[in-house]
C-alpha cells in the first residue's frame, strides 16, 4: 500500500494498532488492554491501556501535506469509566453524560456522536511519513491542562430547585490533558517501535504558551492566554529523513512564541527526560517470540474451547460470531476443524479470513485420535493466537477428546466443551442418536440455538430435557449462534473489575429469554490470604450453580497472588507474577446468584482460621 496518501496514513495507524494487538505477549508488555476498530466515515478505534479504567478513543481528523512529508492528525479522547476519579476533572456537562444509561453505547460509537466526543477530547496524535517511505514521525500535541472557565457560572436543577455548582468566573473543567494523553502516547509510540523493529533516531520536545477556554450563557466562546498552562509537543522519528523539517511542515501547529525546544538525534549525548520509556526498547520484543510470558505476569497458555453439536445445530454461526467479536478487538482466533469425508466445507468458508487447520478424512474424536496435538502444535508454531477453537464433527463424541487434551495442557488452557443444540430438532436427535445425548452430557456450556423457530412451550420442554441429561452445565438460549463470548470464557485479569460492570444479564447480548435461565454475574471479595486446601474445598462445594469463576487469590503456601480460572468443576491455578493486588477477589458467573447469601462464604478459609479436621 502507498502510505503517502490520506487513506495510506490512516491505514498505517491501523496496521500499527493491529499488529501490536494481535501478538498476545507483545500486547501485554506494550500496555494495551484491548483495542476495537469502530471505523465510520473515517478510521477510528476505542482502546484501553494499562493503568486506566476508562476508554481512549482515536479518530482520524485531517491530513497535512508538503512536498516531502504527509501527516495525519488523529484526535485523542478519554472517556472515563463511570465513577472513576478523573470524572471530577471534566466539565459538569461531561460528568452528567457519564451517568446516562446510554453513555457506554455512545463511547463505543463516538465517531457517530461528534458533539459528545468533543467534550472528552484531550490531545491530538500525529503520524507522518516521508514520500520515500523511508522515514516516519509520530507525535502528540496537548495542553498541560485543559482548563474551561464558566464566566456566568453553572446552575443545575436538583430536586426541583436551581442549584449553582460552578461560581461565575470559576473553572468548570481542569483536566490533566498532557499527562493522560502522554500515557496513551507511550503505549502507541512503543507499538511504533515494535512495528518498525528499531528504536527512534530522533526526539524533540517543544513547548509554547497555552490558553484556557472561556464561555458564557449567551453562547460566547473564546481562547485566552494563560501563562500557567503550557502547550507541549513530543515527537519521535524513525528511519532516515529530515525529521525537523517534517515536524515543522506537517506536525506542528503555527505558534507566535516558542518557550523551549529540545532536540536529540541518534548518536548524540544528552537526556530526553524519557529515558525509561518503552519506545526505546520495544523493538527487542521481536514479535514477542523471545518474551518469557510468565515473567511479565500473563498466562502463557492459549485458551482452547471445544465446540460440539449435532449436525445442523449452528456451530459455524457460533464460531463466526465468536471470531468477529475478537477480531473487532484486534484479537486473533485460530480454528481447528474436522470433517468426515475428503473435504471440510466449513473450513473453506472461514479460511479466507482466519487461520484454519483442518483435520479431514475422519473424525477428530474417533479415527484421528492423536491429530489434535499435532494441529495445536502446528498452529502455535506459525501463529500466536488469543484463542483456539476445536470444532468437532457433528457425529463426534467429545468425551473421546479428554485424554488427548490432557496431553497438551502444557500448551493450552482447556476452557471446556461448548455444545450447540438445535432447539427445533434436538429432542428428535436425542431419541434417535445416542451421540447427540453424549454431546449434551459432555457439555460444560449448553447453547440452545435457533430458538426463533420454536414456541415458548417447546423451548421450555427442550431446556428441561437438557437439564435432565446434564445438571451442571448452564443452558443458555440464543438466536443465530450469537452470545457475547466475554460471558462464557475467561478474560485478562486486568479487566475483571470492568467485566463485572458490563456482564449483567441485560447487556450480554443473549436472546431475550435468557433471563429466564437466571444467568448472572457477581464479584466476591476474598480474605487477604486463604488456606489452599480449605479454599478449594469450599470452591468445589459452592452453594449455587456457577459455571465460570475467575479472579485473584492469595494462598498461604505461596508468596505471590495466583490467577484462578474455574469452569464447571474444573479449575486451573497459575502464578500471577505480581507482588500485590489491592484486593483479592473472584467474579462468579452462574445461575440465580445475585440474591444468594455468598458474602463471607470464603471467610472460613481465611489464613489463621482453624481448619476442619
What residue ranges define each of the domains in the chain, with the CATH number in brackets?
6-144+174-291 (no CATH), 293-483 (3.40.50.300), 493-613 (3.30.1220.10)
d(CA 584, CA 606): 12
pTM for this entry: 0.61
498 phi, psi to nearest 5 deg: -70, -40
Give the separation between CA 172 and CA 184, rounded to whole angstroms.
24
> What's the Cα-to-Cα distance from 536 to each of 211, 276, 316, 555, rounded to whole Å?
58, 41, 36, 11
- Sheet harboring 356-359: ordered strands across? 356-359, 333-338, 387-391, 302-309, 412-422, 445-449, 475-477
Closest CA to 10 of 77, 75, 73, 66: 73
Instruction: Give the separation between CA 419 and CA 423, rounded to whole angstroms.
Output: 12
For 392, which DSSP code? P
Write down the pLDDT at residue 582. Answer: 63
First CA to last CA distance, the chain: 69
d(CA 16, CA 23): 12
Runs of H (alpha helix) within 267-387: 315-327, 345-350, 371-382
Residues whose CB falls within 8 Å of the CB of residue 403, separated by 6 or more in sequence, listed in order: none
pLDDT the model gives residue 359: 61
Alpha helices in 390-494 (DSSP H): 402-407, 426-432, 434-441, 456-469, 485-488
CB 411 within 8 A of CB 300: no
Residue 374 CB contacts under 8 Å (≥ 6 apart), including other chains: none
Backbone angles phi, psi at 499, to 5 degrees: -60, -40
Yes or no: say if 576 and 570 are a contact pair by the CB < 8 Å rule.
no
**Nearest of 174, 182, 179 to residue 95 by alpha carbon:** 174
310 neighbors 426 (Cβ within 8 angstroms): yes
Taking alpha carbons only, the member of 329, 328, 363 closest to residue 344 is 363
> Distance between CA 55 and CA 37 in Å, rounded?
13
Given a contact cutoff of 8 angstroms between Cβ atoms, the answer to whether 307 and 389 are in contact is yes
Q: Which of 386, 391, 440, 438 is nearest to 413 (CA)?
A: 386
- CB under 8 Å to 381, separation ≥6 — which residues? none
* Ranges in the chain, pLDDT < 50: 287-297, 341-343, 345, 348, 351-352, 491-519, 613
Separation of alpha carbons 215 and 223, rounded Å = 9
Q: Which grid coordinates are listed for 346?
A: 466449513
3-state secondary structure of 66: coil
Instruction: Specify the 3-state DSSP secondary structure of 221.
Output: strand
Alpha carbon distance 570, 431 (integer Å): 30
User: 260: which residues sit within 8 A by CB, 6+ positions away?
Assistant: 205, 206, 207
The residue with cell 507499538 is 191
pLDDT for 580: 56
Would you tell me the crossing angle of helices 6-22 and 177-196 to the nearest 10 degrees? 80
Q: What pLDDT, on a 0 to 100 scale, did the predictor assign at position 448?
A: 94
For residues 194 and 278, what is the distance between their CA atoms, to the nearest angstrom? 10
Element (H, E) at 449: strand 445-449
How far is residue 229 CA from its own chain's centroid?
34
Amino acid at each position: 500500500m502507498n502510505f503517502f496518501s490520506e487513506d495510506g496514513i490512516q491505514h498505517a495507524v491501523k496496521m500499527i494498532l493491529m499488529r501490536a494487538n494481535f501478538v498476545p505477549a507483545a500486547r501485554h508488555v506494550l500496555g494495551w488492554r484491548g483495542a476495537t476498530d469502530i471505523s465510520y466515515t473515517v478510521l477510528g478505534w476505542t482502546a484501553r491501556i494499562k493503568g486506566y479504567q476508562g476508554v481512549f478513543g482515536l479518530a482520524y481528523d485531517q491530513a497535512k501535506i508538503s512536498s516531502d512529508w504527509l501527516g495525519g492528525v488523529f484526535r485523542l479522547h478519554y472517556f472515563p469509566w463511570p465513577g472513576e476519579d478523573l470524572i471530577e476533572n471534566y466539565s459538569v456537562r461531561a460528568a452528567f453524560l457519564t451517568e446516562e444509561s446510554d453513555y457506554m453505547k455512545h463511547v463505543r460509537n463516538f465517531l457517530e456522536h461528534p458533539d459528545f466526543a468533543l467534550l472528552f477530547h484531550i490531545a491530538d496524535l500525529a503520524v507522518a511519513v516521508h514520500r520515500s517511505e523511508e522515514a516516519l514521525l509520530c507525535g502528540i500535541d496537548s495542553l498541560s491542562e485543559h482548563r474551561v472557565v464558566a464566566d456566568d457560572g453553572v446552575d443545575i436543577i436538583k430536586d426541583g430547585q436551581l442549584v449553582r455548582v460552578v461560581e461565575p468566573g470559576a473553572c468548570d473543567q481542569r483536566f490533566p490533558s498532557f499527562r493522560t494523553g502522554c500515557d496513551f502516547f507511550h503505549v502507541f509510540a512503543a507499538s511504533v517501535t515494535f512495528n518498525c523493529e528499531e528504536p527512534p533516531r530522533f526526539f524533540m520536545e517543544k513547548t509554547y504558551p497555552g490558553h484556557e477556554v472561556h464561555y458564557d450563557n449567551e453562547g460566547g466562546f473564546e481562547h485566552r492566554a494563560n501563562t500557567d498552562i503550557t502547550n507541549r509537543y513530543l515527537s519521535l522519528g524513525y528511519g532516515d529523513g529530515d525529521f525537523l523539517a517534517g515536524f515543522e511542515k506537517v506536525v506542528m501547529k503555527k505558534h507566535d512564541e516558542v518557550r523551549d525546544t529540545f532536540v536529540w538525534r541518534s548518536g548524540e549525548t544528552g537526556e530526553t527526560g524519557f529515558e525509561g520509556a518503552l519506545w526505546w526498547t520495544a523493538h527487542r520484543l521481536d514479535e514477542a517470540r523471545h518474551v518469557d510470558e510468565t515473567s511479565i505476569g500473563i498466562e502463557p497458555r492459549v485458551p482452547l474451547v471445544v465446540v460440539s453439536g449435532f449436525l445442523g445445530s449452528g456451530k459455524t454461526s457460533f464460531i463466526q460470531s465468536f471470531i468477529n467479536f475478537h477480531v473487532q478487538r484486534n484479537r486473533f482466533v485460530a480454528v481447528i476443524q474436522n470433517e468426515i469425508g475428503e473435504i471440510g466445507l466449513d473450513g473453506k468458508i472461514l479460511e479466507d479470513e482466519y487461520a484454519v487447520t483442518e483435520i479431514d478424512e475422519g473424525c477428530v474424536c474417533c479415527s484421528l485420535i492423536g491429530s489434535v496435538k499435532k494441529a495445536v502444535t502446528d498452529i502455535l508454531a506459525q501463529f500466536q493466537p488469543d484463542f483456539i477453537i476445536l470444532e468437532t464433527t457433528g457425529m463426534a463424541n467429545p468425551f473421546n477428546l479428554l485424554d488427548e487434551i490432557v496431553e497438551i495442557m502444557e500448551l493450552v488452557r482447556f476452557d471446556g466443551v461448548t455444545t450447540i443444540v438445535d432447539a427445533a430438532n434436538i429432542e428428535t436427535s436425542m431419541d434417535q442418536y445416542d451421540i447427540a445425548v453424549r454431546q449434551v452430557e459432555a457439555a460444560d456450556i449448553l447453547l440452545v440455538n435457533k430458538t426463533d423457530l420454536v414456541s415458548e412451550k417447546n423451548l421450555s420442554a427442550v431446556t428441561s430435557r437438557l437439564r435432565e441429561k446434564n445438571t451442571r452445565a448452564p443452558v443458555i438460549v440464543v438466536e443465530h449462534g450469537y452470545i457475547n463470548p466475554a460471558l462464557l470464557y475467561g478474560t485478562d485479569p486486568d479487566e475483571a473489575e470492568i467485566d463485572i460492570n458490563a456482564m449483567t444479564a441485560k447487556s450480554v447480548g443473549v436472546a431475550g429469554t435468557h433471563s429466564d435461565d437466571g444467568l448472572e454475574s457477581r464479584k466476591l471479595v476474598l480474605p487477604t490470604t486463604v488456606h489452599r486446601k480449605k479454599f478449594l474445598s469450599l470452591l468445589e462445594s459452592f452453594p449455587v450453580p456457577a459455571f465460570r469463576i475467575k479472579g485473584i487469590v492469595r494462598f498461604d503456601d505461596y508468596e505471590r497472588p495466583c490467577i484462578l480460572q474455574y469452569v464447571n468443576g474444573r479449575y486451573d491455578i497459575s502464578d500471577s507474577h505480581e507482588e500485590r493486588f489491592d484486593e483479592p477477589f473472584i467474579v462468579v458467573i452462574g445461575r440465580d446468584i445475585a440474591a444468594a447469601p455468598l458474602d463471607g462464604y470464603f471467610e472460613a478459609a481465611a489464613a489463621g482460621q482453624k481448619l476442619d479436621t
